[in-house]
């Protein structure tokens, strides 16, 4: 049986085979799937070297089914490469009845490779690195079916749908574990491996983050994070490539399955930024992270995004005011769920902001909070009033009460008197009491001004009502409409409630 399996392997070595191209559009991949992870072998290289880099079924007389413990240490790396070549044959996992014995053989071989890499082997040779990268590329890199990439404008409504799981996952998981162990192994030298774990390889990994399977995204997150930590030369490219994914979400598709995982990686990256922050990082914050509040699918990755932004502000407190201005720019008007999330993030920012940055944005900020307090949606009004439960925010308001209280008082007073929800009414009364205890003289002045404004509003409303009544009376005394005579329309027919 295994001889039949080995006969499916390529018999000829290829000089310039590449290792980062994925499977075709059908979702399957085969032994010829390859990509370029590094320069091809020079023409002057011996034939033996070429067969080591792109092994056939048997290398130097070593059968790939022999166990590692049955060969001397000097031959273990050759056996490692031979076993990797065995795993370059792929099968159709959509049909569980096909090639059952061959699939189990490949699975057992992958476990052997995983144990070998985990056992701190000798330094990986360049042919071994290339062979493993090629094996991972053949097995992992693939194009997802079209339903994965559907740019549905209402995709956020289907976020609770069950994800699509790849039937080959039990096999893919072992390959992911093998790649993770390989990248983290002390036997792997970054200076050598960077030629094969290169930009194209990293880009293919990033493409896989759009998988609907959360298990696959978790594996990719761990691998990409380790690559970022080990290969310093690739760090700028990884950051740029992740930014490009975010740009596509903001300006094109508004949907990507792996945004939360990519933001989680970037959150740990931000914590390692040196001070002062580079201009590149500040641009990433303003042009990438803040606009990520715009898509409808914000709820999927909100926690990770909020964490990244908070880390930036903790690194450089001067970024707090630009971030708040960005939130006000993208503030949702008709989406109450997003509005509650914005208020939660706003509280986290105000919890770490300094006084100077707060004073730069407090006027437009509290105009927006006042609108939220007056919201007819009780969750928005309730969440905005909960800000007064935060001692840091209350302290900021107290130091700037002469500016903030006149802005926010009308909304609080209106809620305390007229809001339909009793919980919101009680919270408004509590905030009103806090204002009174904070500065009684200012509170009474604001209250007096509010009454005057309400009297003016009521007076104007009465004048409008009287004017309409007079117009209706005058219209009723006129003869019936005939020809092209203008018709008086009552205010009830033209009024629109907001």
Average pLDDT for residues 443-452, to the nearest whole number?
93
pLDDT at residue 487, rounded to an integer: 63
Name 62's bridge partners. Answer: 59
Segment among 58-67, 201-210, 341-350, 461-470 with least mean pLDDT: 58-67
Helix (H) or strand (E) holding 447: helix 440-476
pLDDT at residue 300, rounded to an integer: 93
Are 203 and 248 spatial neighbours (Cβ–Cβ below 8 Å)? no
pLDDT at residue 263, rounded to an integer: 96
Nearest to 252 by CA among 308, 294, 285: 294
Q: CA 351, CA 148: separation in Å to the nearest integer?
A: 39
Is 59 strand, coil or helix? strand
- How many Cα atoms within 13 Å fall on the side-chain side of residue 480? 1
Domain boundaries, the chain: 355-474
Q: CA 469, CA 463: separation in Å to the nearest integer?
A: 10
DSSP code of residue 164: P
Average pLDDT for residues 173-187, to the nearest whole number?
95
As a whole number of Å, the CA-based R_g of the chain is 33
- How many Cα atoms within 13 Å fall on the side-chain side of residue 325? 13
Q: How many residues in total does the chain contain?
A: 498
Q: Say whether pLDDT at 156 is over 50.
A: no
For residue range 210-252, list pLDDT tens digits in order: 999 999 999 999 999 999 999 999 999 999 999 999 999 998 8
Q: Is the dihedral of CA 120, 121, 123, 124 positive or negative?
A: negative
Q: CA 267, CA 60: separation in Å to the nearest integer?
A: 47
Nearest to 423 by CA among 392, 368, 370, 377: 377
For residue range 379-404, list pLDDT tens digits in order: 999 999 999 999 999 999 999 999 99
Q: CA 381, CA 418: separation in Å to the nearest integer?
A: 13
**What would the two tokens of residue 118 be?**
């985990």
Mean pLDDT of the chain, nearest integer: 83
Q: How many helices (H) and strands (E) does the chain have?
A: 22, 0
For residue range 111-142, list pLDDT tens digits in order: 999 999 998 888 999 999 999 999 999 999 98
DSSP assignment of 353-383 equals --HHHHHHHHHHHHHHHHHHHT-SSHHHHHH
Q: CA 443, CA 448: separation in Å to the nearest integer?
A: 9
Can you give the pTM of this predicted structure?
0.78
Is 72 strand, coil or helix? coil
Is the bond into 311 cis (omega within 30 degrees of 0)?
no
Are 364 and 329 spatial neighbours (Cβ–Cβ below 8 Å)? no
For residue range 325-353, list pLDDT tens digits in order: 999 999 998 899 999 999 999 999 999 99
Q: Say whether pLDDT at 149 is over 50.
A: no
More confident residue, 421 or 102: 421
């Amino acid at each position: 049986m295994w001889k039949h399996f080995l006969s499916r392997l390529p018999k000829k070595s290829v000089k310039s085979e590449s290792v980062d191209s994925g499977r075709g559009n059908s979702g399957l991949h085969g032994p010829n799937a390859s990509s370029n992870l590094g320069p091809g072998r020079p023409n002057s290289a011996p034939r033996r070297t070429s067969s080591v880099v792109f092994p056939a079924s048997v290398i130097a007389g070593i059968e790939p089914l022999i166990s590692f413990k049955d060969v001397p240490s000097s031959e273990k790396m050759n056996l490692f490469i031979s076993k990797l070549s065995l795993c370059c044959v792929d099968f159709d996992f959509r049909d569980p009845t096909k090639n059952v014995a061959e699939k189990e053989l490949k699975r057992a071989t992958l476990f052997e490779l995983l144990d070998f890499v985990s056992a701190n082997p000798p330094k990986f040779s360049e042919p071994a690195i290339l062979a493993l990268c090629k094996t991972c590329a053949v097995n992992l890199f693939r194009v997802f079916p079209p339903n994965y990439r559907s740019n549905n404008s209402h995709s956020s409504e289907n976020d609770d749908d069950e994800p699509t799981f790849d039937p080959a996952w039990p096999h893919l998981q072992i390959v992911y574990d093998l790649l993770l162990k390989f990248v983290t192994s002390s036997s792997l030298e970054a200076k050598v491996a960077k030629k094969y774990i290169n930009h194209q390889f990293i880009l293919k990994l990033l493409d896989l983050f759009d998988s609907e399977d959360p298990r696959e995204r978790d594996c990719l997150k761990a691998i990409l994070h380790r690559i970022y930590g080990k290969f310093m030369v690739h760090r700028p490219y990884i950051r740029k490539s992740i930014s490009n994914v975010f740009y596509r979400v903001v300006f094109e598709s508004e949907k990507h399955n792996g945004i939360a995982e990519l933001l989680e990686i970037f959150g740990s990256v931000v914590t390692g930024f040196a001070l002062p922050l580079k201009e590149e990082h500040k641009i990433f914050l303003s042009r990438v992270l803040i606009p990520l509040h715009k898509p409808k699918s914000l709820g999927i990755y909100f926690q990770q995004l909020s964490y990244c932004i908070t880390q930036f502000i903790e690194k450089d407190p001067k970024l707090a005011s630009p971030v708040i201005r960005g939130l006000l720019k993208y503030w949702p008007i008709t989406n109450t769920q997003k509005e509650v999330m914005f208020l939660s993030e706003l509280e986290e920012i105000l919890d770490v902001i300094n006084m100077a940055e707060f004073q730069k944005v407090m006027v437009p900020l509290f105009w927006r909070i006042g609108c939220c307090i007056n919201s007819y949606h009780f969750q928005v009004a309730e969440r905005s009033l909960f800000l007064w439960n935060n001692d840091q925010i209350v302290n900021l308001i107290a130091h700037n009460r002469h500016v903030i209280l006149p802005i926010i008082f009308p909304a609080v007073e209106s809620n305390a008197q007229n809001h339909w929800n009793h919980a919101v009414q009680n919270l408004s009364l509590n905030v009103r009491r806090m204002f009174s205890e904070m500065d009684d003289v200012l509170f009474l002045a604001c209250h007096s001004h509010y009454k005057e404004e309400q009297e003016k509003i009521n007076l104007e409303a009465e004048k409008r009502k009287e004017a309409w009544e007079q117009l209706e009376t005058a219209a009723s005394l006129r003869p019936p409409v005939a020809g092209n005579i203008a018709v008086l329309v009552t205010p009830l027919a033209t009024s629109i409630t907001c």
